[in-house]
Amino acid sequence: MSETKVTKTPGSAEEGLIIQNLIIRPVVRSTQDITTWTNAIKNAEALNPIRVPLYDLYESLLLDGTLKRLIAKRILGVTKTRLLFLDKSGKEDEVMKALISKKAFRDLRKERLKQIMWGITVVELSRKATGELKVFSVPRKHIKPKIGKIVWEQYGQDGIDYRTSPFDKYTCEFGESDDLGLLMSAAQYVIYKRGAFGDWSQYAEIFGMPFREARYDGYNAAVRAQLEQALDAAGSASYAILPKDVEFKLHESTNTANSSELYDSLRRACNEELCILILGQTETTTSSKSSGYAQSQTHAGVEEALNLDDREEELADLNETVLPILANLGYPVLGGKFVHEEVTEQVPKKDKVDIVVKLKTVVKLPMSDDYLYEEFNIPKPDNYDELKAKIEASTTPDPTPPPTAPSPGKQPKKADKKNPKIKLSAWHQMRLRLADFFDLAPNS
């Protein structure tokens, strides 16, 4: 079996303190089933635990596209929030600002979050000769968290005690020693889904192509051989070569209206279970026939609460575990702390337009036109003042002329005799009231 050596040379703290060699073996990829999964869990939970088979299983699970993207979405829920470092005076430190924006620090944030899936993450922090931060994530098959060791061989016992000096000054451990991660629970759904896909593929192969049947004289073997050769050369569709006097029937399952829907339902059920396990809900990733706006908003709130908890955990780990190591590496972190940038609620543009219209027309709230141009990214016309004046002039009503006095000697006209009042029924009175209430608006 091939192997790869990762050598950590001795020297100062800036060069790293994992002195010996890690002999890294390739992932063992084999057919996975429920028995393999349960046996791997038993080995990982034994008195002398061995996690290697379980972690090989995890690597195989990550080939599932749905699971991989769900994990990426869970991680993105934290890393999309900008991280800040405030010094002891409460101001953002420029040196740490540059460090946080580097790829190495982003990798550190992602590796820390992976412990949610794997159960454990151990990272060694060091500095390159150029002064840049270096992040080395220890292969998890070499970590024995119950005894706090990193072993040279994945099945070995010899290694370093990373929780003791001097290694504890430059290694970060995230996760609990007895935690096997969410991938342990996700494994069953991926295994079931793979089985469903295999059966579905076989169903499509059998019933998705036209079935061919050939008959021959039962005593003529030469004709049978010729038929078999011809059918093989004619394509991959299934066929049967039968003697003329043999009856052949192909029975399709009639338990469901469409047998293929059974496999698709199993696939969807497994994906929904994965969504609930990783994200706490389903509606922000998949949709169902019964889903609606209110339901999707509720599910989005569940996911946001989960992301908020992950962000709080990140700050705790960074401030309690990572900060002392960064101080050992010479970074100006004494008295400071990591915080997340405050995130304002993002209102969709369509909803914001409705809010602005109601504020101006119903509440009559004075609002600057410049704010509207900037908020909705509308270019302001060069002749804005001229256009504004025309709009105001068109909406200003003409002044009512004063009443004219009658000429001397002329008698004022008598007012027209009022029409006699007509007694209306209750139904017509109600219609008149509604007409007065919903008076027509003036034409624009």
pLDDT at position 437 over 50: no
Helices (H) and strands (E) in the chain, counts: 14, 12
Minimum mean pLDDT among 146-155, 159-168, 424-433: which range? 424-433
Give the residue, 352 or 77, on which the prediction is more confident. 77
Tell me the percentage of the chain whose pLDDT exceeds 90: 44
Strands 120-127 and 337-340 turn out to be unpaired
CB atoms < 10 A from the CB of 381, how many? Answer: 11
pLDDT at position 150 over 80: yes
**pLDDT value at position 39?**
96
What does each C-alpha distance from 24 to 131, 141, 163, 220 come to in angstroms? 28, 9, 22, 61
> CA end-to-end span of the chain, whole Å?
82
Q: What are the structure tokens assigned to 420, written together?
A: 């006699």
Residue 285 pLDDT class (50, 70, 90 cuts):
low
Give the residue, 383 or 283, on which the prediction is more confident. 383
**pLDDT value at position 74?**
94
pLDDT at position 70 over 50: yes
Give the integer Cα–Cα distance in Å for 156 and 142: 8
Cα atoms found within 13 Å of the Cα of residue 197, Cβ hemisphere only: 11
Q: What are the structure tokens assigned to 294, written together?
A: 């209110």
Sheet of strand 143-144, all strands in order from the earlier edge strand to the far edge: 143-144, 149-151, 159-161
Give the residue, 296 or 134, on which the prediction is more confident. 134
**pLDDT value at position 79?**
94
**pLDDT value at position 371?**
81
Residue 402 pLDDT class (50, 70, 90 cuts):
low
Four-point Cα dihedral 145, 148, 151, 154, nearest 10: -10
pLDDT at position 303 over 50: yes
Minimum mean pLDDT among 165-174, 236-245, 423-432: which range? 423-432
**pLDDT value at position 96?**
94
**pLDDT value at position 10?**
40
User: In 3D, which of 123, 121, 114, 119 has the Cα closest to residue 79?
Assistant: 114
Mean pLDDT of the chain: 81
* Average pLDDT, integer, range 67-95: 93
pLDDT at position 49 over 80: yes
Q: Residue 383: what residue type?
A: N
**pLDDT value at position 263?**
86
**pLDDT value at position 15?**
53
Q: How many residues does the chain have?
A: 444
* Average pLDDT, integer, range 268-297: 72
**pLDDT value at position 330?**
92
Q: What are the structure tokens assigned to 144, written together?
A: 């024995």
* Average pLDDT, integer, range 374-387: 82
- Buried-state track 304-315, b at ≥16 Cβ within 10 A, e below 16: eebbeebbebbe
Residue 1 pLDDT class (50, 70, 90 cuts):
very low
**pLDDT value at position 256?**
47
Residue 419 pLDDT class (50, 70, 90 cuts):
low
pLDDT at position 69 over 80: yes
Residue 345 pLDDT class (50, 70, 90 cuts):
low
Q: Residue 30: what residue type?
A: S
Give the integer Cα–Cα distance in Å for 153 and 422: 104
